[in-house]
Amino acid sequence: MTFLPQEMIRTKRDGGTVSSADIQAFVRGITDMSVTDGQVAAFAMAVFFNGMSPEEGAALTLAMRDSGDVIDWSKYGLDKEAPIVDKHSTGGVGDKVSLMLAPIVAACGGLVPMISGRGLGHTGGTLDKFEAIPGYDPYPSIDRFAEIVKTVGCSIIGQTGDLAPADRRFYGIRDVTATVESVPLITASILSKKLAAGLNALVMDVKFGTGAFMDSADKARVLAENIVRVATAAGVPTTALMTDMNQVLGRTAGNAVEVMETLAFLKDPAGADKRLMDITLDLAAHMLSLSGAQADASAARKAAEEALASGKATEIFGRMVSAQGGPADFLEKADSYLTLAPVVKPVTLGEGYVSAMDARAIGMAVVALGGGRTDPSQKVDHSVGFTEFCQVGDKLTADQPALMVYAQDEAAADAAIERVRAAVTLSDTAPALKPITAEIIEG
C-alpha cells in the first residue's frame, strides 16, 4: 500500500495514534527527501499540540536512529563493557559544558563519542562553538571518529550523513517552526543520535528556567523521566540531572567567546565560575560512575578534580582539537586563532544586586547579533557575543560594567545593550542562591 504522508499528518492532527509502520515510512521520507519540508513541519506541529504515546515515541526514536549507521565498537577493538559514555544537554544560554566535560571524562578513563548539534532557537550549539576554531572538522568519517575516541579519549562531532540523518533534517526544521518544546520530539531527537553512537551509558542535563526550552521544573521533569525511561528500555543506562537555567551559564555567551572561557576554565580551574564548575563536576561524576570508569560518584568527582588540577584534561582538549583538524598549537595561541568582533562596549546596568535575568532574552540578543540562526541555512557569526557577564547575586555599582558586548557595528551593539538591560533585574537586597543541580533522576 502506498504511504501517504498527509494521511499520517491528519491522523496525528486529529489526536489519533500513528502506527509504527507509518512512523518508519515517514522517517524514511525525511531521509530520502520524499517527504517535503512542509509535511515535516506540519507533523511536528501536530505532535506539538497532541503529543505521542510512549509507543509512538519509541518508534520515532528507533526509526530515526536506524535511518543511518549505528556504531558497533567491537569493530574497533573495544570490549562490549567498555566505558563508552556521553552527556547531552537540552540547551541553555552560555552552556559550554560539553567542551570541557568531554576531555575531563576522557582524562579519567571514560571514552566519549559525543555527537552534538548546532544552536537551536535561543540556545547556543556545541558544534557552532567548535567551528569558531579554524580547521576544526566536525564531520569526520565514522572510522576517523572512532579512531579519535580510542586514541584521544573523546571526539565531538556533528551529525554526519551516516548518523541519524533523519534527525539532522528534522532538527533544522523544528528550529524555525516553533516546535522545539515537544517532549516526544526532543526525546527522539536526542536519543536517536546518542543511541547511534553505540553508548553503554548516558547522562542527561535537562534544564529548566527562563533560558531553557522547559521553563518550569515540572515540565523539565516530564522530559527527564521520558528520556530516562526510553533510553533505559533501549538498553542504555541513563541518569538525568535537572539543572537551573535561569541565568547565563558561566560568564560568556556566544561562540568564540565561550571557547575562550573553556580554555580559561581548563587552564585555571580555581578562577572558574562556580556554577559552571559545579555542573561540570556533577555531570563528570555521574558519567564516570554510571559507565564504570570509576568505582562510584565520590571517586569519580575526585578523579575529575585531579584531571583538571594536573592539566591532563587541558592536554586532551588540545589533542582532540588537533586530531580533528584544528591548530596543533591552539592551546598556546588561541588568541591568535579565535576572531572577536571589532566593536567592543562595556554595559552598565545600574546599582544593586543582580536578582534575576531573562536568559532567553539574552540568548535572543546573541542571535540578533548574528551568533545564532533564524533560518537553518544561515551562517553564524562566531565572533560576536557577551563576556564578563554578571551572575545572580553579584553586587554592581552604577558605573561598573556588568558585561562586555562584541558586535560588528555600533548599531548592533546598542541594540544588544538595550536587550540585555531589559533582561536583567536589580534589587536592593541580595537574592537567595540555589544550587545549579536541583534534582537527579535515575533509571
- Sorted by sequence, the CB contacts under 8 Å of residue 62 that are 6+ apart come out as 192, 195, 234
Q: What is the pLDDT of residue 298?
A: 93
Class of domain 73-334: alpha beta
* pLDDT for residue 159 is more than 90: no
* pLDDT for residue 121 is more than 70: no
- Which tops the pLDDT comparison, 240 or 234? 240
- Sorted by sequence, the CB contacts under 8 Å of residue 347 that are 6+ apart come out as 401, 402, 403, 404, 405, 417, 420, 421
- Sorted by sequence, the CB contacts under 8 Å of residue 296 that are 6+ apart come out as 289
User: Which of the residue ranges 32-46, 63-77, 117-131 would you say has the lowest mean pLDDT?
Assistant: 117-131
Grid coordinates belonging to 364: 535572543
- Mean pLDDT over each residue of the chain, to the nearest integer: 94
* pLDDT for residue 116 is more than 90: no
* Cα-to-chain-centroid distance, residue 386: 18
Do residues 430 and 353 lie in contact, with contact meaning Cβ atoms separated by under 8 Å?
A: yes
Domain spans in the chain, listed from the N-terminal domain onward: 5-51, 73-334, 338-427
Q: Give the integer Cα–Cα distance in Å for 247 and 96.
A: 14
* pLDDT for residue 375 is more than 80: no
Homologous superfamily of 5-51: Transferase, Pyrimidine Nucleoside Phosphorylase; Chain C (1.20.970.10)
Q: What is the pLDDT of residue 160?
A: 74
Q: Give the integer Cα–Cα distance in Å for 121 and 116.
A: 15
* pLDDT for residue 263 is more than 90: yes
Grid coordinates belonging to 293: 570508569
Please write the tens of the pLDDT for every residue from 264-281: 999 999 999 999 999 999
- pTM value? 0.89
* pLDDT for residue 109 is more than 70: yes
Confidence of residue 416 (pLDDT cuts 50, 70, 90): very high
CATH number assigned to the domain covering 338-427: 3.90.1170.30
Confidence of residue 255 (pLDDT cuts 50, 70, 90): very high
Q: Give the integer Cα–Cα distance in Å for 184 and 60.
A: 8
User: Which of the residue ranges 93-107, 349-363, 367-381 would you say has the lowest mean pLDDT?
Assistant: 367-381
Q: Calculate what percentage of the chain has a pLDDT beyond 90.
A: 82
Average the pLDDT over 335-353 and give the result. 97
Q: Calculate what percentage of the chain has a pLDDT beyond 70.
A: 99
Residue with C-alpha cell 563493557? 81
Q: Is 82 left (phi over 0), alpha (psi -120 to 50) or beta?
A: beta
Confidence of residue 58 (pLDDT cuts 50, 70, 90): confident
E-strand ranges in 116-225 read: 154-157, 201-208
- Sorted by sequence, the CB contacts under 8 Å of residue 203 that are 6+ apart come out as 85, 86, 87, 88, 238, 239, 240, 241, 283, 286, 287, 290
What do you get for the CA distance between the two ends of the chain, in Å?
A: 40
Q: What is the pLDDT of residue 162?
A: 80
- Which tops the pLDDT comparison, 337 or 165? 337
* pLDDT for residue 119 is more than 70: no
Average the pLDDT over 324-329 and give the result. 98
Q: Give the integer Cα–Cα distance in Å for 357 and 93.
A: 11
Please write the tens of the pLDDT for every residue from 396-407: 999 999 999 999
In angstroms, the Cα distances linking 226 to 17, 67, 142, 180, 195 are: 18, 22, 29, 16, 15
Can 73-334 and 338-427 be said to share one CATH topology?
A: no
In angstroms, the Cα distances linking 375 to 44, 127, 330 are: 17, 16, 31
Q: What is the pLDDT of residue 176?
A: 86
Confidence of residue 180 (pLDDT cuts 50, 70, 90): confident
Q: Give the integer Cα–Cα distance in Å for 337 and 233.
A: 44
Average the pLDDT over 38-61 and give the result. 93
Q: Which residues carry out catalysis?
A: 86-89, 126, 174, 189, 193-194
Q: What is the pLDDT of residue 120?
A: 62
Q: Is 267 exposed, middle or buried (0-12, 13-18, 19+ CB in 10 A)?
A: middle
**For the sheet containing 352-357, what is the strand order?**
395-396, 352-357, 424-427
The Cβ of residue 216 has, within 10 Å, a number of other Cβ atoms equal to 11
Q: What is the pLDDT of residue 200?
A: 94
Average the pLDDT over 28-56 and give the result. 95
Please write the tens of the pLDDT for every residue from 6-29: 999 999 999 999 999 999 999 999
